[in-house]
Chain A
């Protein structure tokens, strides 16, 4: 019975509001735009950061990536016409990391060599990625054709290579060319599989490149060695690098930070120079999430201001309504309505106004991101939390901005109110 009384109050409130349809509609517009902008802005913000987060996730949040870099003191000595720089991660490093840290699940060695790939009369500068089959467990990519590198390729009689979709298009013209023979540098390889590749962008790096050619690491080492000779403007530079990258997978994300610190300390002990870099995707993920939060707060505040304006609009109209209905308030009080009952009557009306505005606003706010995605191609995500948040806010706007007019109505002197007009 109590329930039906609430429903009856709401019904009477709606009935009163419908007496002035245009006015009620215009009043709700403020809340419609306020709530709409909250939902839409959060959806745009969410979409932009979701894209970035997805890229970071592809790096693997339980991975630690170690890169070989040329130490600065080596780079300076350019006057020598021919010299060998020896730097970077070693096979021993990989072995040590795997043995020392209990939290390390597995390690993937990566050897990178730039070579020309040739098939018939087509050529492409490829990045030869000498690695173990585990690479594809850590850098998960869709297999378009054929298979990935397997354990059998480490010992097989023929040299296997996995190409990217991009490389396959450039070299083979058609993707369905499993079994063709590709010449890389001085060696011959059989194309066993093609994978889709990710492209690095917006400061988020993925471990793979579109010109990658994946071969087993022992083949890479045997065929290309650890020496790289670079010729530029008449100078000849030789580099000796054992591993260009080591990807370390940690058992759980909780152990990533501590393990990364441990590896860094260990490398510092064994390397005289800073010829390595430790990257932690998880840390990137954390900072990206923090950025996203800031972004959302800024957008939310802007939307909040428009909600405030909407709320003030409602209050303004309700105050006018109270003045207009002074006589009605007097009659209700004379009949025996208590102050509290007058307050709840007017509060219900404002909450109905703001809730209807909120509901329409959520609809508009969901439609705008959809249009943005459709016409501007920007990714947007309407999250459940933004909808719940907006619904709550519009209810609160009704209560907060309805309270003052309602209290004013209740505090009218019944005798004065009855005499009004």
Chain B
């Protein structure tokens, strides 16, 4: 269950759908929701590979299945059929606790509305994944300081989220997503709640992280934001419509 020590995948952006060193791969993944009597197909046989160190945007109109895809990638949900591998491990049939463990060790989330916990300080928000991993307090405090430095919020560790601007809150969220050194960073409309200037800053931050080797998968519907990614996956009616590099 634990990430193999020192097994950092090779760096460099690789296009989705090909590449040998895939850190995340989906094979014929389908997701069917049951709504009363009717069955609704949200994903219909999606096969994708995300190479280590890649930066991919997932685009598409609402109802195209991009949110479902992101939930599956984030191990918040299980596919109805097909298989899903993260760092070589099939996670498509794991139970709730095992999925939590995968999220805790291998996945980082950045949300549109930041989703910081209001009663916790910046430091405590960043520490949260480490807290659930059971890190000793002193070490996780130190790690939180490092991460705050990386996202450019070194001096605001003891602030409350509501004392920060939107852009700063999203930086805290990025720091929190990086705390467990995830295999893949999942971003769901990361600039959706920000003005365009602040959005650019956040995208610069993400691009910088990608250049340092972080694998990023981002859902967005804004073409200029998607342009930061090396590859764009266009979804339509629960299928991959086309891949653009």
Question: A: which residues have CB within 8 A of B?
Answer: 1, 4-5, 8, 12, 15-16, 19, 327-328, 330-341, 414-415, 418
Contact = CB atoms under 8 A, between A and B. Distances in A.
B83 interface: no
Given A8-B137, A414-B76, A415-B76, A336 B132 contact: yes
B145 to A, nearest CB: 18
B132 A418 contact: no
B76 A336 contact: no
Contact of B117 (A4, A331, A339, A341): A331
A415 B77 CA distance: 8
A328 B117 contact: yes
B111 A333 contact: no
Given A335-B104, A336-B100, A341 B132 contact: yes
Contact of A339 (B96, B120, B134, B180): B96
Contacts of A340: 97
Contact of A19 (B119, B124, B129): B119
Contacts of B107: 336
Given A8-B137, A339-B97, A334 B117 contact: no
A72 B118 CA distance: 87
B18 interface: no
A15 B115 contact: no
B136 interface: yes
B119 A332 contact: no
A327 B111 CA distance: 12
Interface in B116-175: 117-120, 124, 128-129, 132-134, 136-137
Contacts of A341: 132
Contacts of B111: 331, 418
Contacts of A4: 137
Contacts of B133: 336
B119 A335 contact: no
A333 B100 contact: yes
Given A8-B137, A16-B119, A418-B115, A335 B129 contact: yes
A338 B137 contact: no
A330 B77 CA distance: 13
Given A4-B137, A8-B137, A332-B128, A337 B119 contact: no
22 contacts: A4-B137, A5-B137, A15-B120, A19-B119, A332-B132, A333-B103, A334-B76, A335-B104, A335-B128, A335-B176, A336-B105, A336-B132, A336-B133, A336-B180, A337-B100, A338-B96, A338-B97, A339-B96, A339-B97, A340-B97, A341-B132, A418-B111
A331 B115 contact: yes
Secondary structure call for the A interface = helix
B71 interface: yes
B109 interface: yes
A339 B134 CA distance: 15
Contacts of B120: 12, 15
Contact of A334 (B74, B101, B119): B74
Contacts of B118: 19, 328
Contacts of B115: 327, 330-331, 418
A15 B118 CA distance: 11
Interface in B87-106: 96-97, 100-105
Interface residues of B, number: 30
Contacts of B180: 336
A224 B34 CA distance: 107
B36 to A, nearest CB: 17
A332 B137 CA distance: 18
B96 A15 contact: no
Nearest to A416: B76
Contact of B103 (A8, A19, A336, A339): A336
A1 B74 contact: no
B206 to A, nearest CB: 18
A414 B111 CA distance: 13
Contacts of A330: 115
A336 B76 CA distance: 10
Contacts of B134: 5
Nearest to A9: B131
A95 to B, nearest CB: 83
A335 B120 CA distance: 15
Most interface-central of A16, A333, A335 (chain B CB within 10 A): A335
B124 to A, nearest CB: 8
B132 A337 contact: yes
Contacts of A328: 117-118
Contacts of A336: 100-105, 107, 129, 132-133, 180
Contacts of A5: 134, 137
B186 to A, nearest CB: 9
A416 to B, nearest CB: 10
A317 B77 CA distance: 30
A54 B60 CA distance: 87
Contact of A338 (B100, B105, B136): B100
B217 to A, nearest CB: 15
A19 B102 CA distance: 32
Nearest to A340: B97
A346 B96 CA distance: 19
Contacts of B117: 328, 331-332
Contacts of A415: 71, 76-77
A-B pairs with the 5 shortest C-beta distances? A336-B104, A336-B103, A338-B100, A331-B115, A19-B119
A330 B129 CA distance: 14
Contacts of A333: 76, 100, 103
Contacts of B132: 332, 335-338, 341
Contacts of B104: 335-337
Contacts of B129: 335-336
A341 B101 CA distance: 12
A340 B77 CA distance: 18
Given A333-B76, A334-B109, A338-B100, 19 more contacts: A1-B136, A4-B137, A12-B120, A327-B115, A328-B117, A330-B115, A331-B115, A332-B117, A332-B132, A335-B103, A335-B128, A335-B176, A336-B102, A336-B129, A337-B104, A337-B132, A338-B132, A415-B71, A418-B115
